[in-house]
Amino acid sequence: MSIINSARELEVYKLAYKSAMEIFYLTKSYPTEEKYDLVSQIYPVK
């Protein structure tokens, strides 16, 4: 068993980071109004 020095060493972290970057690059080319629509869906209205 090895000692984990950082969360970045965890497989779940690596998979989550890879997924987040894929989503970022996919949505980067969206028109501006589409990006704002996505943000409003991600963050709940208070």
CA separation for the pair 2, 32 (Å, rounded): 45
CA separation for the pair 43, 39 (Å, rounded): 6
Degrees (nearest 5) of the Cα angle 26, 18, 33? 25
pLDDT digits (tens, 9 = 90+) for 1-19: 678 899 999 999 999 999 9
Q: Is 30 within 8 Å of 38 (Cβ atoms)?
A: yes
Band the pLDDT of 30: cuts 50, 70, 90. confident
Which amino acid would we find at residue 11?
E
Q: Please, what is the average pLDDT of the chain?
A: 79
Q: Given a cut of 70, is residue 46 above it in pLDDT?
A: no
